[in-house]
Structure 1
Amino acid sequence: MPQLLHLNTFTSDSGNLTVLENVMPGSIKRFFYIYDAEAAQRAGHRHCRAWHAMMCVNGSCRVYCHDGRDEQYIVLDHPQKCLVLEPRDWHSMDQFTRGAILLVLSNEYYDPADYIYERYSLQTV
């Protein structure tokens, strides 16, 4: 099941510094960000190998997750919130606010063969 983490943040008069480290196996091989997606639903898949860590660094969005047993919605509405998805976590994102920027880090390079688009049954596996 996905893990919602609250990242360590250091605050000073000159601003905040939030640190993301040791949240998924391996090293970060790819990162991308989604923006200008207010009316869109994104993703709609799971992976064979790739783990992902996602943070809404501006604005907010909602993430639907299903791991084959349990399903849940998670709102990413603060840069300190980090959602870690394992390969088995089928996910989609929606309800992006105006100006939302969703940053996603992956421990794998892009590979179309790593994507599984078939949804889990809503019944317990």
Structure 2
Amino acid sequence: MQLYVKNSSIITLPKIKDNRDGNLIIANSLKEIPFEIKRVYYINQLENSVSVRGKHAHKECEQVIFCINGSFLLGLDDGTTQQKILMNQDNVGVLLGKMLWHTMEDFSPGCVLLVLASDYYDESDYIRDYEEFIKLSAKT
């Protein structure tokens, strides 16, 4: 997997496999995750496979998104370059940096997304209008 958009990178977590007893996947703040984790959330029971989630960017908050079960398509847009990535490895995530528009779609049955965030929820940090995002991203 290779990323072409700005403000993003691949994050690979250590995965300890024990065929009889499952897998242990570890995420440490300020080590594998390049920020202090202040919020953790997950999205599941995505019964409507045609749903599109996300559809926003953050001014300051950074996040790392993982697909810990199933698969989905992650859309990234830095204001200039767009890219879609199939997320289907439980220990490989994508850093969603500042000013990076993102969408999630095409969810498989049983899909579970896990997100680690650098800050607490703050609605004023969200850019939910794509045209506003394009204007703001041109200034950075």
TM-score range, shorter chain: 0.7 to 0.9
Equivalent runs, 1:37-76 vs 2, <5 Å = 37=46, 38-76=49-87
Is there any run of 5+ residues in structure 2 with no aligned partner, and where?
Answer: 1-5
Report the alpha carbon displacement of residue 68 of structure 1 after superposing the two structures with TM: 2.0
Query: 1:87 aligns to what SS in structure 2?
Result: coil
Tell me the equivalent position of 2:37: 28
Report the alpha carbon displacement of residue 5 of structure 1 after superposing the two structures with TM: 2.5
Tell me the equivalent position of 2:119: 108
Structure 1 stretches (4+) deviating beyond 6 angstroms? Answer: none
Query: 2:57 aligns to what SS in structure 1?
Result: strand
1:69 is matched by which residue type in structure 2? T
1:24 is matched by which residue type in structure 2? P
More strand by share: 1
1:10 is matched by which residue type in structure 2? I
TM-score, normalised with respect to structure 1: 0.87
In structure 2, what is the Cα distance between the partners aligned to 1:29 and 1:55?
16
Aligned residues: 122
Report the alpha carbon displacement of residue 30 of structure 1 after superposing the two structures with TM: 0.9
In structure 2, what is the Cα distance between the partners aligned to 1:5 and 1:92?
18
Query: 1:113 aligns to what SS in structure 2?
Result: helix
Tell me the equivalent position of 1:10: 16
Is there any run of 5+ residues in structure 1 with no aligned partner, and where?
Answer: none
In structure 2, what is the Cα distance between the partners aligned to 1:11 and 1:35?
24
In structure 2, what is the Cα distance between the partners aligned to 1:62 and 1:108?
24
